[in-house]
A and B are shown apart, each in its own frame.
Chain A
Amino acid sequence: MNLRRDVFQAIADPTRRAILVLVATQSMTAGAIAANFDTARPTVSKHLQILTECELLEQKQNGREVHYHTNAKKMKEIADFIEPFRQMWDDRFNKLEDIMKNYKPSK
């Protein structure tokens, strides 16, 4: 892979964002992460490689197992940058959904 890796490229993919949210709560092995997705295992491995290359994830040897955990400092970079914008739309769309679920045609 000769592509330049950085955090914004990493989070452009929904699966990778989902992996970050998952691993943020506890360190996990590649197998345990892959078990949460319908995606093929090699695809998940590829995502883990990209997330590790851009330092959002870090690997730690734990006996015979390798655990992935998030790098808080790098995570903060993306959280600071785009998350409030996403959250703003998420709040609006949640409101839209609530309003329309209770919507009754006026006639």
Chain B
Amino acid sequence: MEQKTKIDAENGKQEIVITREFDLPVELLFKAYVEPEIVAQWMGTKVLKLENKKHGSYAFETSDNKGNVAFVASGVIHEFVPEEKITRTFEMENTPFAAQLEFLTFEKLSNDRSKLTMHVIYKSVGLRDQILSLPFAQGINMAHNRLQNIVTQLK
């Protein structure tokens, strides 16, 4: 069975590519990225600011499960083309992690299917690998981990 969300993280490179196909028209997929209430729901974050335009900026506030503010993520939008692409920076404020550059591409596959490609470029290879390992290190990932479960059963 193929997994829906795929990550290409070639060893030794300072970039990753996340791809996902949705059972949604591209208009709805794009809307999920621009309507603050919807972004808040699926990202699990509070949207402090979201200016959907070239040279606009955004800020999200993420809390831990006790309601304490964990971090504020913010950035500026460099390109904004409805139902096609968003180019933006992303930075976790007050952390040692440098800003990253994100190229989001929205593609229509059919009338009710669409594809998102998220190409993320980090300051260095080391920083990329550190950020990729964050959910593991912090135990953010409470969800069922299929691959790991299979591995456990093999032991």
Interaction A to B: yes
Select one of A13, A21, A79, A93 contacting B4, CB under 8 A.
Answer: A93
Contact size range, B: 35 or more
Known pairs A18-B2, A21-B3, A90-B4; A72 contacts B155 (CB<8 A): yes
CB atoms of A99 and B41 under 8 A apart: yes
Residue-by-residue, is B42-79 near A (CB-CB < 8 Å gives 1, otherwise 0)?
11100000000000000000000000000000000000
Complex-state Cα separation, A24 to B2, whole angstroms? 13
* B109 close to A (CB within 8 Å): no
CB atoms of B5 and A89 under 8 A apart: yes
Measured CB to CB, the closest approach of chain A to B102, in angstroms, equals 13
Closest to A6 in B: B11
Known pairs A72-B154, A84-B135, A88-B140; A99 contacts B23 (CB<8 A): no
Interface of B: prevailing SS: mixed
Complex-state Cα separation, A62 to B150, whole angstroms? 23
Chain B residues positioned under 8 Å from A103 (CB to CB): 28, 31, 38
**Between A and B, how many residue pairs show CB distances below 8 Å?**
132
CB atoms of B20 and A89 under 8 A apart: yes
CB atoms of B145 and A87 under 8 A apart: yes
Closest to A5 in B: B11
Residue-by-residue, is A91-104 near B (CB-CB < 8 Å gives 1, otherwise 0)?
11111110111010
Identify 11 new A-B residue pairs, CB closer than 8 A, beyond the known A83-B147, A84-B141, A92-B42.
Answer: A12-B11, A21-B2, A21-B150, A24-B151, A25-B150, A80-B148, A87-B144, A87-B145, A90-B3, A100-B24, A100-B31
- B interface with A by C-beta (< 8 Å): 1-11, 18, 20, 22-24, 28-29, 31-32, 38, 41-44, 116, 132-136, 140-141, 143-148, 150-151, 154-155
